[in-house]
Amino acid sequence: MEVYNIHSPKRQRTENETRLAKLSDLDVLDCPVFFEPLTVPTFQCDDGHLVCSLCLAKVSNKCPGPGCDLPIGSKRCFPMEKVLEAAFVPCRNADIGCPNTFSYGKVSSHEKECNYSQCSCPNLDCNYIGSYTSIYSHYISSHLYENMTCSFRSSALVRININEKVLVLYEDMEKLLFVVQCFKERHGVYITLRSIASLTPKEKISYWLSSSVDGHTLAYKSPEMKMFLEVSSQIPEESYIFFPNSLLCGEMLEMSLSIVMFDGEWV
């Protein structure tokens, strides 16, 4: 009897040989917890469900898979990690000039500081959209009559009409725009301050807000200021000062504002 080897020998690739593949849906490379790109290391439970290293602590080492509560975090999924390291994608701003490509798990970090990131003009009646490096010059040239100046390491008196909801400030040394927002609710008003900029700015920025009404003083020191690419209509979950209705006098709010750059500690 003749015996044939039905398994053909594995083809050996040369060192410089690369084969390209097409992935029809990048969502399969996203973590199922917060739907952000999976990061290395990537872990799996005994049933094969995945979670990335950034989300592992958020699920308390219990599998987030549907109907699954198996422990997760001790077994890495090496095949998926190889896929993540081999899958290169362009920045989402490629169509408007960004030439960079990154492995899938790293592209979101780049996009947070990409110079081509698109911002919306903070004037709610303006439809202008441009890179965050050009939004300052657009606002100054198009909406100069609405501007109020501010500066680092010095206080400014800010007056805002609660009904207008948005007040834009500009800082001409660093060419930055800051947006004071009012969120009127049943029991009072939330006030927050954010900057239109890259989501990961080169310098950390924080602010101090205070106001005195009828002998009562409210004050707030913020942690690192939140950056954003467009004015949001949602009440912030953190970094705000709240004025109860009992301390409101009409529709105008007057506050002392200080904005500082800092290295993690207040100066």
The span from the CA of 190 to the CA of 248, in Å, is 12
Yes or no: say if 29 and 87 are a contact pair by the CB < 8 Å rule: yes
The pLDDT value given to residue 78: 93
- At 265, the pLDDT band (50, 70, 90 cuts) reads very low
By percentage, how much of the chain surpasses pLDDT 90? 6
Angle in degrees, CA 259, 262, 266, rounded to 5: 80
pLDDT, residue 75, reads 92
Most confident residue range from 102-111, 192-201, 212-221: 212-221
> At 199, is the pLDDT very low, low, confident or very high (cuts 50, 70, 90)?
low
Q: What is the pLDDT of residue 14?
A: 57
Q: Specify the pTM.
A: 0.62
pLDDT given at position 208: 86
Whether the predicted pLDDT of 120 surpasses 60? yes
Mean pLDDT of 199-211: 75
**148, pLDDT greater than 50:** yes
Q: Would you state the pLDDT for residue 134?
A: 84
- Residue 43 in this model has a pLDDT that exceeds 70: yes
CA-wise closest residue to 64 among 40, 41, 44, 84: 44
pLDDT digits (tens, 9 = 90+) for 56-86: 888 888 888 888 989 998 999 999 888 888 8
Higher-confidence position of 199 and 1: 199
Structure tokens at 31: 């973590």
- Residue 6 confidence class, pLDDT cut points 50, 70, 90: very low
Mean pLDDT value across the chain: 79
Mean pLDDT of 89-116: 79
Q: Position of tokens 């989402």?
A: 92
What is the rounded average pLDDT of the residues 146-159?
A: 71
How many angstroms separate the CA atoms of 73 and 189, rounded? 43
* pLDDT the model gives residue 12: 58
pLDDT score at 267: 40
Q: Is the pLDDT of residue 4 over 50?
A: no
For residue 161, pLDDT over 90 is answered with no
Please report the pLDDT score of residue 15 as a whole number.
Answer: 57
Could you give the residue ranges of the DSSP H alpha helices within the chain?
53-56, 78-86, 104-111, 135-142
40 close to 53: Cβ distance less than 8 angstroms: yes
Distances (CA, A) of 75 to 39, 43, 66, 71, 78: 15, 6, 19, 10, 9
Q: Is the separation of the CB atoms in 89 and 26 below 8 Å?
A: yes
What is the rounded average pLDDT of the residues 200-225? Answer: 80
Between 106 and 192, where is the model more confident?
Answer: 192
